[in-house]
Structure 1
């Protein structure tokens, strides 16, 4: 862990990297709702001073994932059923707009890159490599967002992307979901190839709804 934070990634600050790591741990269930996060313990674990940890915890509080309670300390709030319901509702709205704009604005080179991502998804689905599939799944959707060439959409999605990645990963853990998700992405890709906006919107909304149902089925939505 120490070496992770000794090497800056791109332009990310130490605080940002620690923030992202703690956020990921909360979202993936390492910390449960109501659990106390001890600043000194995290600083020791990460091999850093307490200052960047303290700043990261402040960011997490602004994101609503922790509460700093007087005389108790920093307590995990986590993500609720309502939060994830909201995430999927927003995804449904965003994905429909994104595929429409992407089809209208992407060039042949963009389409070839989308095909390449899908082909890698096929390969790793055959190998049942969940981590790689989840990564490529996110890359597929992010590429569509980028292909819209809309700085405003990019701004809206910037802080939202992590939460979507988490729900995608949970959905893919559902039995049989890997193959069905691949088929859903194939349907989206074929609509892009045909430049059929209506078909693409229907395909992406079907995919998001199926992801939501699978997330519920495996207990991804807390009661």
Structure 2
């Protein structure tokens, strides 16, 4: 089994921290489909007892990332390339709908806040703080969804966004991708300000395609590291 880093710590429960650690390893392909999750080995690697590991594995099974196999125990189901393709394809269509609805009844105050988020992203990126720049990425999309003024759409998009959030954290560690993502955000805001629906939809499409490509490349890199 791939060795998992033991950088746990914070206010969350141990089981939650272990869950997030394992979930990230699965979503980034460090833990691959078919890998067995040995409670004893994981608890030893993370420096925790087996109880939080057992609880984390149960949560992973609930999320559909792990399944119990007879005589093997917990085995990684993972998230396939097709899953990622499907998630980003659906997310792309829905985010295009979100900007279309947002422009239809454009809230200029909300648009101003959206632009402020992009400005802050540039500020923190300039200071080399990729963590804060990434947190603001989530704020950008949350604000965009809210501007659609559609609760069902917002809930659906938030679910997609959160599902791959920890995998995206890894891909955002590249300064090049962070800079590209911020430029894409600004293109979306500029098109919305002009009330140019086709341009806004195209900007969203470009952003989603590039994000998907970068995540796939990150996963491939993590998988290669696991082989070495």
TM-score by length of 2: 0.76
Alignment pair present for 1:185 and 2:192: no
Against the structure 1 CA distance between its residues 54 and 77, is the aligned structure 2 distance closer, same or farther, given a 3 Å change threshold?
same
Tell me how far apart the structure 2 counterparts of residues 43 and 22 of structure 1 sit (CA, whole Å).
Answer: 12
Aligned to 2:36: 36
What is the CA-CA distance between 1:219 and the residue it aligns to? 5.0
Aligned to 2:111: 111
Tell me how far apart the structure 2 counterparts of residues 19 and 149 of structure 1 sit (CA, whole Å).
Answer: 33
Aligned residues of 1:167 and 1:220 also touching (Cα < 8 A): no
Aligned to 2:200: 200
Aligned pair count reads: 215
Aligned residues of 2:81 and 2:216 also touching (Cα < 8 A): no
Tell me how far apart the structure 1 counterparts of residues 216 and 18 of structure 2 sit (CA, whole Å).
Answer: 29
Counterparts in 2 of 1:1-223, with a 5 A limit? 1=8, 4-6=11-13, 19-39=19-39, 45=46, 50=51, 54-166=54-166, 168-173=168-173, 176-220=176-220
Aligned residues of 1:181 and 1:207 also touching (Cα < 8 A): yes
Tell me how far apart the structure 1 counterparts of residues 16 and 146 of structure 2 sit (CA, whole Å).
Answer: 23
Against the structure 1 CA distance between its residues 217 and 19, is the aligned structure 2 distance closer, same or farther, given a 3 Å change threshold?
closer
What is the CA-CA distance between 1:29 and the residue it aligns to? 4.6
Where structure 1 has 5 or more consecutive residues not aligned to the other structure, the ranges are 7-13
What is the CA-CA distance between 1:36 and the residue it aligns to? 2.5
Tell me how far apart the structure 1 counterparts of residues 111 and 126 of structure 2 sit (CA, whole Å).
Answer: 23
Question: What RMSD over aligned residues (CA atoms) do the two structures have, in Å?
Answer: 3.2
Aligned residues of 2:19 and 2:59 also touching (Cα < 8 A): yes
Other structure's SS at 1:68 match: strand
What is the CA-CA distance between 1:175 and the residue it aligns to? 6.9
TM-score by length of 1: 0.77
Aligned to 1:11: none
Where structure 2 has 5 or more consecutive residues not aligned to the other structure, the ranges are 1-7
Which structure exhibits the higher relative contact order, with contacts defined as CA atoms closer than 8 Å and separated by 6 or more residues? 2
Other structure's SS at 1:160 match: helix
Tell me how far apart the structure 2 counterparts of residues 17 and 98 of structure 1 sit (CA, whole Å).
Answer: 33
Tell me how far apart the structure 1 counterparts of residues 116 and 84 of structure 2 sit (CA, whole Å).
Answer: 30
Aligned residues of 2:91 and 2:160 also touching (Cα < 8 A): no
What is the CA-CA distance between 1:112 and the residue it aligns to? 1.9
Tell me how far apart the structure 2 counterparts of residues 184 and 64 of structure 1 sit (CA, whole Å).
Answer: 32
What is the CA-CA distance between 1:71 and the residue it aligns to? 1.8
Aligned to 1:10: none
